[in-house]
Structure 1
């Protein structure tokens, strides 16, 4: 059976399923069966594409595809907006995007420009600056920024900020204090990174039995979590499995 026929049949079936699920008139199915590729093209243009525009999942998938093809596109758009209007909001959005893309130097400059006037101690901006500093390997500066953040905003809570502070301590050689912070994060951080980093530092400091226990408990706990959670955290869970295998049996 020719491949072109099989492809046409698959597209017709997919569109027919869309007709039924979207509640469109059933005459579309007959048109699809009769019209083959031409009918499929027409249906996609008049029905599927408009649906995707109004479907949050469709918009999200399209946005993700565009981001994969051209990861710098959003930053260029944000840069143009900033050039048109140099507002705090536009600088914040560009700073966040630069941080996301790993352009830590530009992110630092933008966050520093935001930390002025009435926003001089804005905690989210200070945390962004600390994240950019850590991304550049400036862990001493990042630690100082985080300590200034807490001093200026004693009631501010951030799991990401807490984790970053623990990482700074570890990178700067204060491993005992880092372990204390990671111990708290192992129970409080909303994800697997806190538990993994705690176990990893225990392993690095030759506390193998404790590391093994943390990793085993982490993996056992993950089995009880919903599938979407395990998929979201699969990178850290794979790292935990590898670290546990390296530790071997007690």
Structure 2
């Protein structure tokens, strides 16, 4: 059966389902079945696209699609906004987007520029700077920034900042101190990365039995979590299985 014919059937079925779900007159189904590609194109223009424009889920899906096709699009928009209005919020948003895209040098410069005056010890900006420094491999500066953050904001709590601090200690060779931090994160971090990093550092220190116990607990715990959680954490779960296989089952 020709692929063109199969595609036509699939599109017609999809449009027919949309007709029923959206409560539109059922004569649309007959028009779609009779008109094939032409009817599908008309229905797309007059029904589906307008629905997507007014549906938050549709707008979100369209935004994700555009981001996937052009990852720099959002950054360019923010750069234009910053040229029009050089505000703290516009600089912060561009810094966040640069960090997200892995443009760590630009993110570092932007965060450093934000940390002046009344914002000199703003914890969100300091944490962003620490992430940018870590992205550049400067873990000594990362640790220094995080130490300054806590000194200036003793009540500030951030699981991401805590994990970044533990990673910095590990990268700087302060393994026992890093293990102490990871041990806390194994019970408190809202995801599997903290537990995984704790296990891998235990393995690096030739504490294989402890590492296996952490990994097995991680995987057993994940089995009890909702599907959406396992999907979100799948990269760390996969890494945990691989590391456990390397270490061998207890």
Same fold (TM over 0.5): yes
List per-residue Cα deviations over 1:152-184 (Å, max 9, x = no partner). 101101000000000000000111010010001
Distance across 2 between alignment mates of 1:231 and 1:53: 28
C-alpha root-mean-square deviation of aligned residues, in Å? Answer: 0.9
List per-residue Cα deviations over 1:114-148 (Å, max 9, x = no partner). 11111110000000000000100010001000010
Alignment partner of 1:57 is 2:57: yes
Distance across 2 between alignment mates of 1:15 and 1:179: 56
Moved over 6 A (4+): none
Question: Could you say which residue in structure 2 is the equivalent of 1:90?
Answer: 90
Question: Could you say which residue in structure 1 is the equivalent of 2:153?
Answer: 153
Shift of 1:14: 0.6
Shift of 1:51: 1.4
Shift of 1:31: 1.2
Question: Could you say which residue in structure 2 is the equivalent of 1:143?
Answer: 143
Number of aligned positions between the proteins? 250
Distance across 2 between alignment mates of 1:60 and 1:113: 32
The answer for unaligned runs of 5 or more in structure 2 is: none
Distance across 1 between alignment mates of 2:230 and 2:189: 15
- Any idea what SS the aligned residue of 2:128 has? helix
Distance across 1 between alignment mates of 2:64 and 2:123: 29
Shift of 1:8: 1.3
Shift of 1:62: 1.4
Alignment of 1:33-72 (within 5 A): 33-72=33-72
Question: Could you say which residue in structure 1 is the equivalent of 2:111?
Answer: 111
Shift of 1:37: 0.9
List per-residue Cα deviations over 1:41-78 (Å, max 9, x = no partner). 01111111111122222222211111111111110110
TM-score (norm 1): 0.98
Distance across 1 between alignment mates of 2:144 and 2:51: 50
- Any idea what SS the aligned residue of 1:249 has? coil
Question: Could you say which residue in structure 2 is the equivalent of 1:188?
Answer: 188
The answer for unaligned runs of 5 or more in structure 1 is: none
Distance across 2 between alignment mates of 1:249 and 1:17: 49
Distance across 1 between alignment mates of 2:249 and 2:191: 26
Question: Could you say which residue in structure 1 is the equivalent of 2:247?
Answer: 247
